[in-house]
Chains A and B, each alone.
Chain A
Amino acid sequence: MPRISNALIRHARSIDKLLPPLLRPCRELRAAQNELRWLREHAAKVASTRNAKVRDTLLRNLVLERAKGKPLQYLLGSEYFGDLQITCRPGVLIPRQETAASVAYLARLVRQAEELPPELRVLDLCTGTGCIPLLFHDELAATRKDVRSRYLGIDISRDAVHLAHYNLQKVWRQKAYADKSVTAFVQADVLIDPFDDQNAGMPCFKAALNHYRQPPFWDILISNPPYISPSGYWSTTTRSVRLFEPELALLPPPNPDASDTERGDVFYPRLLSIAQHVEAKVVLLEVADLDQAHRVARLAQDADFFDGIEVWRDWPDQPNDAEPVELDGFPVIGQGNGRYVLCWRAQGAPWLGKDVVAKAETEPLSHYSLQPTFIYRPPSKIPL
């Protein structure tokens, strides 16, 4: 990373002596000025009843912590995710703008669909702060008062599940929603194979569904799992992420037999198999870049379960203005880095405004399945 020039530091100092330390994490003057304003507002709010001296000391301490790389979101205790203010605490990953962009985009596609199931079910694996189901619901409820929806967020971390519950309470109180949607957050390990009875500690995904009396079938599956490979961790993540955000949220667990790339991809085969088990009609998986998007899209294709697959960049609502516009036959939409893989089955196509016939066009004949694509969905009163 290029050094910050002395001229810039001097200029920043002439504006405010608290600015130069903020240049270190922010790199740019404009960004540092914004952060200083937000920190100042925060200090004023926290210390409103005390005297100016307390406030100044507080501000100075905040600036010093920020200069050491502590994320602003942990210092202020929140991050904006779409329209929602999500509480953040050290130990749980800070929600990212790119995640919000794609989740909101998906929800906006779905809410335009003419016909939706009487209860739309959305499963979020590796939920962290719970931001994804909360935003999906917020977007859906904004225009579709007629749709009841159900959300389940799952995470291995106790802190994350606690925080997700807290955010659920807070957002519902703030937004005063009037619909009858249900949201639950549950602790479970999505990597454990449900058919392997060997595990004793953390419940697997399926056991958690049973234990918490959650339905076995889900319409939409979203996940932003840990996806960074060990080499990517050291070369691509910023210092602030490495020093202050939980490794558990970023790096898939070590495995002596796996290559560097394989380790980054550990979650995807599991997520796709859960998608099949819960008979998801639409699946949206976050990835690190176009290369990983490509690998995950191929994996989804090989599962021979989906009728359409495409890749979304960071800002899927923007027109794609950069190569490639297609990866190996998978359309690439939006602007920015490769960020999401979207897979859908024929029943989910109309929710996305897609034509149902995608499969015959994009896949070679050998993949063509003679089985009917419609799958019988048992009534939900069958005991779990």
Chain B
Amino acid sequence: MTVAPWICRSCLSRISRPLIRQRLRYQSTAACKVSTSESISPALLARARSIAREHKGLADKLANGFDARSAKKLGEHGGVVSTLKEWEKANESLRELTSLIHDPTTDPELLSLASEDLATTRTQLADASQSLTTSLVPVHPFAHLPCLIELRPGAGGSEAAIFAGDLLRMYQAFCNRNNFRATLLKYENADGTTEAGVPLSEAILEVESGGAYGLFRCEAGVHRVQRVPATETKGRTHTSAVSVLVLPSVQENSLGEEDFEDPESDYYIDPKEVRVDVMRARGAGGQHVNTTESAVRLTHMPTNTVVAIQDARSQPKNKEKAWRLLRSRLAQARREKREEEMAAIRRSVVGVAKMGRGDKVRTYNWGQQRVTDHRSGTTVHDLDDVMEGGQTLDKVMESVRSWLMERDVEAMIAEETDAKK
């Protein structure tokens, strides 16, 4: 009954937004290498050329009088246009050199010069291809935001809960080493302590530094552990799993007030659709009881999303945390829904793996002291360094980010092809 209206509004009307946003924000640095090949996909190249044509049109228009919108667009496309020029130059010289070399009439001296140049031109072309790709690949619209990392033990009983604690400490150490500010927003285990080795039932770590979402979003998914649990008497290896959810975290200042107020925003919540329950004192309340209950539960009624926070003694603090969490969860759900709809558009592309709750993304194997990421296919052997949040973890995460970027390129090309049909 109440489901239909908001899904229609939030998903279908929003479906066009990320496309617009993505087109406006491009990778500014080539932090992650997509490939070192000198080739570039024809679709991507076609796209760059059409941008260049549009750019020329805009420049002509500007010559005849100032127009703020065109000027802005011109600025945004400038990077693509100049890299395309570089690429075309390198491509042109490569073609000339190759034909020289293959031409039987070329004299030997020139031939040896040409072969020498060939190598450097090849690198130039590879570099230009690389930067053209990065300047065209969209940056995730929330990459600049801080994030929330939620850990929940999955299959595997108490061993899964212990591993969840290990992963939490791994991320904490990683943040510590990289000077990211990380705070535990929620920590629940059996006895309410934070001691190591105590089974964890749920933890939410907030990484408050800007850009954290872009860095950690590759961690979302099911992390699998294979080891002999401390409690195992027969020495058998168990397989357990922990699910990791990574959400962009919205604080009032990271998005600007208007995003909370704007009904078009993913982060917008109509307060009338949220039921607030505060844990009430039993009975008469007021002077009759001196309860310490401070729990707050928010229910977003149209989607039946429930968050409950009880960590702080202060009820307003709990309420604030609960709202933050609810906004993040709903925004994530809306994005996922929208992404699903977009995936339908890109159906032609095989291998666009959705990074979500369901997929097994990484295995930590104690017996072989290795960590394998199933998306990028990377295996590293310094398990201890990974678990201590060391540089080996950087390496694994980086491999996934590159892999993700390749997927993004594929998806974008699919979109381009689709648009042409």
Contact = CB atoms under 8 A, between A and B. Distances in A.
A36 B276 CA distance: 26
B310 interface: yes
- Of B284, B286, B292, B310, the most chain A CB neighbours within 10 A belong to B286
B193 A318 contact: no
B2 interface: no
Given A237-B289, A339-B285, A80 B193 contact: no
Contact of A73 (B283, B290, B293, B315): B290
B200 to A, nearest CB: 14
Nearest to A240: B290
B288 A238 contact: yes
B283 A35 contact: no
Nearest to B280: A336
B288 A241 contact: yes
Contact of A31 (B276, B280, B289, B293): B293
B56 to A, nearest CB: 52
A30 B290 contact: no
Given A34-B310, A288-B284, A289-B284, A238 B289 contact: yes
Interface in B242-292: 276, 278, 280-292
Nearest to A319: B272
Interface of A is mostly: mixed
B140 interface: no
Given A37-B192, A315-B278, A286 B286 contact: yes
Interface in B285-324: 285-295, 310-317
Contacts of A94: 290
Interface residues of B, number: 30
B315 A288 contact: no
- Of A27, A224, A237, A318, the most chain B CB neighbours within 10 A belong to A237
B290 A71 contact: yes
A208 B295 CA distance: 41
A35 B314 CA distance: 13
A225 B37 CA distance: 80
A96 B284 contact: no
B190 interface: yes
Interface residues of A, number: 53
Given A73-B292, A241-B290, A30 B284 contact: no
Contacts of A226: 287
A263 B107 CA distance: 118
Nearest to B192: A37
Interface of B: 190-193, 276, 278, 280-295, 310-317
B199 to A, nearest CB: 10
A236 interface: yes
A100 B281 CA distance: 14
Given A30-B310, A34-B292, A72-B292, A236 B284 contact: yes
Given A80-B294, A83-B316, A336-B280, A34 B192 contact: yes
B8 to A, nearest CB: 26
A237 B287 contact: yes
A40 interface: yes
Given A19-B191, A27-B282, 8 more contacts: A26-B292, A30-B310, A34-B294, A80-B315, A97-B278, A97-B281, A97-B294, A337-B284
Given A36-B192, A83-B314, A337-B284, A31 B292 contact: yes
A288 B283 CA distance: 11
A250 interface: yes
Given A16-B191, A33-B191, A288 B287 contact: yes
A160 interface: no
B137 to A, nearest CB: 44
Interface in A271-307: 286-289
A38 interface: yes
A228 B285 CA distance: 12
Contacts of B295: 30, 34
Contacts of A72: 292
A155 interface: no
Contact of B289 (A19, A35, A85, A241): A241
B287 to A, nearest CB: 5
What 10 A-B pairs have minimum CB-CB distances, sorted nearest first? A80-B314, A37-B192, A16-B191, A237-B288, A33-B192, A236-B284, A71-B290, A72-B292, A236-B288, A15-B191
A189 interface: no
Contacts of A85: 314
A37 B311 CA distance: 9
B110 to A, nearest CB: 78
14 contacts: A16-B190, A33-B192, A34-B192, A34-B311, A36-B191, A40-B192, A71-B290, A97-B278, A98-B285, A228-B288, A237-B284, A288-B284, A288-B288, A337-B285
A33 to B, nearest CB: 5
A253 interface: no
Contacts of B292: 26, 31, 34-35, 38, 72-73
A62 interface: no
A30 B293 CA distance: 10
Contacts of B286: 96, 98-99, 227, 286-288, 314, 337, 339
- Of A30, A37, A85, A240, the most chain B CB neighbours within 10 A belong to A37
